[in-house]
Amino acid sequence: MSARHIASELSTLDISSVLFFLLAVGVVGAGIAVVTLRNIIHSAVAMMVCFGSLAGMYALLGAPIVAAAQVLIYLGAISVLILFAIMLTQAGDANLPAPFHRQLPIALVVALAITGIVGWAIVQTDWALATEAVGSGVETIAETLFTEFALPFEIISLLLLAAIIGAIYLARRPEEDERAN
C-alpha cells in the first residue's frame, strides 16, 4: 500500500473508511495505552476500549457473530476476570514499583522489528483479492461450526471444563489446601 493509495483512499472518503480509521485509532491507541500506563487498572480499562474497537472492526468486516462474541467474551468475561485478579492481588498503591524492565530498549527494538518485517511483507504483497469485504452471515458460520468444526467445538467444551477445574483448584485458599491434605 503506497502513499498514493492512501491519498486515493482519502480522496474517496466514505463512511466505512472513516469508521475504519476511527476504529483503527481506537485499537492502536488503546493498545499503546495498555502497555505504557503505570496504573494497572488504567491499563485494564484501556484494554477494554481496545476490545470494544476490535468488536467494531469485526462488524465492519461483516462478521456480526464474531463481534458479538468479542463483546460477550472479552469485554464481558475476560476483562472482568482480569479486573477481579487485579483487585485480589493489589498490594496497595503505596509504592508503585518501576513499570518497565531494564530490557525495555531491546524489547522495543525487537517488537519494532517484528512489526516492521510483517508490515513490510504486507505492503509488499500484491493482494489480488476482492476490494470489498464480504462477510459471513450467521447461517454460514453456524453451518461451518457444526459440520466442519464439530469436533473442535466438542473438544473446546472439554477444554473449558478442564480450565474451570484447574482454576478452582489453583485459586483455593491455603488453609483449605491443608485440610484437604
Partner 1 sequence: MGIDGYLIVSALLFGIGAFGFMARRNAILMLISIELMFNAVNLSLVAFNAFLPDDSGGGAVFALMIMAVAAAEVTVGLALVIAIIRTRQTAEVDQYSDLKE
Partner 2 sequence: MELLIALIPALPLAGFLFAVGVGPRLDRVPGHGHHGDHDAHGDHEAHEGDDHEPVDDSHFRSVPTEEEQRETSPHAGHADDLANAEGAAGVIPESLNDGIGQAGHVTPGAERPRYRSWVVPTVLVGIGWLISMWVFAQVVFAGQTYEVTVYEWIASGDFVINISFLVDELTAMLLLVVSSVGFLVHVYSIGYMDGDRGFWRFFAYLNLFMFSMLLLILGDNFLMLYVGWEAVGLCSYALIGFWYKKPSAAGAAKKAFVVNRVGDFGFGLGIMMIWVNLETLSFREVFAQIGTLDEGTITIIALLLFAGAVGKSAQFPLHVWLPDAMEGPTPVSALIHAATMVNAGVYLVARANPIFAEAPTAMWVVASIGVFTAIFAAAIALTQNDIKKVLAYSTVSQLAYMFFALGIGAWTAAIFHLVSHGFFKGLLFMGSGSVIHGAGGEQDMRFMGNLRAKMRWTYLTMIVGSLALAGIPIFAGFFSKDEILAEAFNRGYYVFYGVGVVVAFMTAFYTFRMIFMTFWGEWRGPAEVWRHVHESAGTMVAPLVILAVPTTLLGLILGIPPEEGLIHDWLDPIFHDVAHTGALPGSILAGYDSRGEEHHFELLGLGGLLLLVGAAVAVAGVALAYRWYVRQPDAPGRFVERIPLGFGPGMYRASANRYYVDDLYQLVWARGGVLASNALWWFDAKVIDGTVNGAGWLASKVGGGLRQVQTGRVENYGLGIAAGLAIVIFVYAAVVR
Where on the chain is the footprint of partner 2 (CB under 8 A)?
101, 103, 106-107, 110-111, 113-114, 117-118, 120-121
Q: Which is nearer to partner 2, 76 or 116 (CB)?
A: 116
Question: CB neighbours (10 Å) of residue 9?
Answer: 14
> Closest approach of Cβ 121 to partner 2, in Å?
5
Residue 22 partner contact from partner 1, partner 2, none using kind-dependent CB cut-offs of 5 to 8 Å: none
Q: Do residues 68 and 138 touch, judged by C-beta distance below 8 A?
A: no
> Closest approach of Cβ 57 to partner 2, in Å?
24
Q: Which is nearer to partner 2, 110 or 138 (CB)?
A: 110
Question: CB neighbours (10 Å) of residue 6?
Answer: 10
Q: Do residues 78 and 33 touch, judged by C-beta distance below 8 A?
A: no
> Closest approach of Cβ 111 to partner 1, in Å?
4
Q: Which is nearer to partner 1, 125 or 179 (CB)?
A: 125
Q: Which is nearer to partner 2, 103 or 157 (CB)?
A: 103
Closest to 138 (Cα-Cα) out of 60, 55, 64: 64
Residue 150 partner contact from partner 2, partner 1, none using kind-dependent CB cut-offs of 5 to 8 Å: none
> Closest approach of Cβ 118 to partner 2, in Å?
7
Enter the C-alpha cell of residue 68: 458479538
> Phi and psi for 49 in degrees, rounded to 5?
-60, -40
Phi-psi region of 92 (alpha: psi -120 to 50; beta: other; left: phi over 0): left
